Structure 1
Amino acid sequence: MLFASFIYKGDKYIGIVQGDNVIPIKDLIGKEFASLIDLIENFSAKYIALLKDASGHEGIKLSDVVLTSPILHPKRNVICIGKNYKEHIDEIANSIDAEHNIPEHPVFFTKMVDKSVGPFENIKLHKEITSSLDYEAELGIIIGQEGSNIPKNKVHKYIFGYTIINDISARDIQRKHVQWFRGKSLDGTCPIGPYVLHKDSIPYPPKLKIQCRVNDNLRQDSTTEKLIFDIDTIVSELSKGITLKRGDIISTGTPDGVGMGMNPPKYLKEGDKVECYIENIGYLINTVK
């Protein structure tokens, strides 16, 4: 199941994507939800069969709606994982003359997001404060059950689904402040979408192709099988002493091919089209403005 948030004739909806159509959730389960977060916070196993049974529901043509970010306003910061693909560690080490050390434990940091950017919306360039805006295609995990101290073998139970996150980063601000938080938290620099894929729609753990193109040129091309710390490890480690809540978002790290890692670096410019793709989820396409 692919969950979408969208606008149709001026009204906001959440729905299930079926081919070229999207069916409002309320038409399937007879209940209205204010947002996808609202649905996740109140999700029940009894909804699964109702949501899968789309027979008799034509829905609305996707071409007639405006897709928004599936989770427009995250309730807490997006939790990010740094240095989680070996090839990316190598390329950033080369670009900043650092060591190629693979971390012994997941490297967690947060990305403050007031309002996420939806598919086909603009990424803000912020040219007045940065000249080194970069892209990072990442698999996002959406938590579906509250919990702490989660054992690795039970992590799957706590997941609601997956999405695409473009962890846009201002590299010069990162260097200036000697940490990642500010350079990754500028307004309008967290595209999420286009959909949230329910966890039961694919085998676990996910083995998904992940790519990023800039102006149709392939920059990143990898698979989530190459994660240094897998999803079980990420969620279990993060939950030690920290309560994860329904709707929390975890971004699992980016593969090699970022602009910073090129020689010379290729940072984003005004008018660039950035297209992030993850198998089974779709394409998250944005323009830098």
Structure 2
Amino acid sequence: MRLVTFEYGGRTRIGALRGEDEVVPFDAGLPTSMVDLVAAGDAALDRAAAQLGSGAGVPLTEVRLLPPIRPRNNIMCIGKNYLEHAAEFAGSGFDASQQQAVPDHPVVFTKALSSVVASGDPVHVSADSTGTSDYEGELAVVIGQGGRGIAAEDAYAHVFGYTIVNDMTVRRLQRQHVQFFLGKSAATYCPMGPALVTRDEIVDVTKLWVRTTVNGEQRQAAPVADLIFDIPTLIATISVSVLLEPGDVIATGTPAGVGIGFTPPRYLRAGDVVEVSVDGLGTLTNPLV
């Protein structure tokens, strides 16, 4: 299923996409938030599937999509997880965190929940006084069954589904503060969506491609198979110390082609439109203001 959170008739609802132009709202018997639906497990997901098959639909044009899920914890992100991006970042002069171009272990940081916005929402790059805003298109994993000490071989059993994240960044703040949090957590700098696609819809996640365009020009394109640290490794590594909870979001890293990888850097400006597409998950589109 392609699950969505949306506003309709003055209410925030959850439901699923049916076809390309219709949303089926979930009714009685199901949780009213996506985090609670994820936490409710397989039985709730089965009821949701039944409602998708029989429920009345609403035209997609009549609803406002919201971020598909708003987790209880910060968005977890992975830095330098594609070889070519690790190289371009190391050569950009903006990596103040360490001198090692390709990490031996996953580089994990978080983005504040207040940075999360939906597909279609504006991103306020004009609030960046440094003029160094950048894009990072990424596949994101949504945790289903949580836990600590999850073994890599068991990791996919803990994946509920997948979505798309644009890990937007104020590069000067990222370099200035060494630790990534402030540069990554500006308001509106975590577009997410448009949908949360359940794991059963994706036959082999490693065969998906992540692509990013700015004003229609392709800047990023790489398969998920190119991750330095794959999804099971990320879940196992994070859960060594972090208690993963249902609905937690892990953005898996961005391919080469970010703005700071160009000479001179190609930063984002008001009026630009950034689109991030992942096979089977749709396209996350955000105008910049």
TM-score range, shorter chain: over 0.9
CA-CA distance at 1:242 after TM superposition: 2.0
The 2-side partners of 1:108 and 1:254 are apart by 13
Q: What is the deviation of 1:138?
A: 0.6
Aligned amino acid, residue 220 of structure 1: Q
Q: 2:182 aligned with 1:185, yes or no?
A: no
Structure 2 residue matching 1:117: 3-state secondary structure: strand
Q: Which residue in 2 is equivalent to 1:89?
A: 86
Specify the alignment match of 1:61 in structure 2.
59
Q: Relative to structure 1, is the Cα distance of residues 209 and 161 closer, same or farther in structure 2, using a 3 angstrom cutoff? A: same
Gaps of at least 5 residues in structure 1 are none
Which residue of the partner structure matches residue 167 of structure 1? Answer: 167
The 1:278–1:128 alpha-carbon spacing in structure 2 relative to 1, beyond 3 Å, is closer
Mapped to 1, the partners of 2:45 and 2:173 lie a distance apart of 44
Task: Find the partner of 1:51 among 26, 48, 53.
Answer: 48
Whether the 8 Å contact between 1:205 and 1:231 is mirrored in structure 2 is: no
Task: Tell me if structure 2 keeps the 8 A contact 1:82–1:107.
Answer: yes
Structure 2 residue 239 is matched with structure 1 residue 260? no
Query: What is the TM-score normalised by the length of structure 2?
Result: 0.93
Q: Say if 2:23 and 2:59, in contact at 8 Å, map to a contact too.
A: yes
Conservation of the 8 A alpha-carbon contact between 2:161 and 2:198: yes
- Counterpart Cα distance in 1 of 2:137 and 2:64: 22
1:83-106 CA distance string (max 9 Å, x none): 100010111122228767321111
User: 1:116 matched to which residue of 2?
Assistant: 116
Identity of aligned residues (%): 39
The Cα shift of 1:63 comes to 1.6
Q: Retained in 2: the 8 A contact 1:67–1:119?
A: yes
Structure 1 segments of 4+ aligned residues over 4 angstroms from their partners: 97-100
Letter in 2 for 1:82: G
Counterpart code for 1:39? L
Q: CA deviation at 1:179?
A: 2.3
In structure 2, what is the Cα distance between the partners aligned to 1:145 and 1:11? 28
Q: Secondary structure at the match of 1:139?
A: strand
Alpha-carbon distance in 1 for matches of 2:222, 2:204: 18
Give the superposed CA RMSD: 1.7
Q: Decide which moves more: 212-221 or 105-114.
A: 105-114
Partner of 1:25: 26
1:210 aligns with 2:210: yes
Write the distance in 2 (CA, Å) between the matches of 1:128 and 1:109: 21
Q: 1 or 2, which has the higher helix percentage?
A: 2
Correspondence list, 1:191-270, <5 A:
191-270=191-270
Mapped contact 1:89–1:100 kept (Cα < 8 A): no
Report the CA distance between 1:74 and its aligned residue: 3.0
Greater displacement, 95-104 / 12-21: 95-104
Q: TM-score, normalised by structure 1?
A: 0.93
Pair 1:262–1:100, CA change in 2 (3 A)? farther
**Deviation by residue 1:179-221 (Cα, 9 ceiling, x = unmatched):** 2111001111110100001011112444211111101111111
State whether residues 74 and 114 of structure 1, in contact with CA within 8 Å, keep that contact through their aligned partners in structure 2: no
- The offset of 1:58, in angstroms, is 3.7
In the alignment, the residues of structure 2 paired with residue 130 and residue 113 of structure 1 have an alpha-carbon distance, to the nearest angstrom, of 22
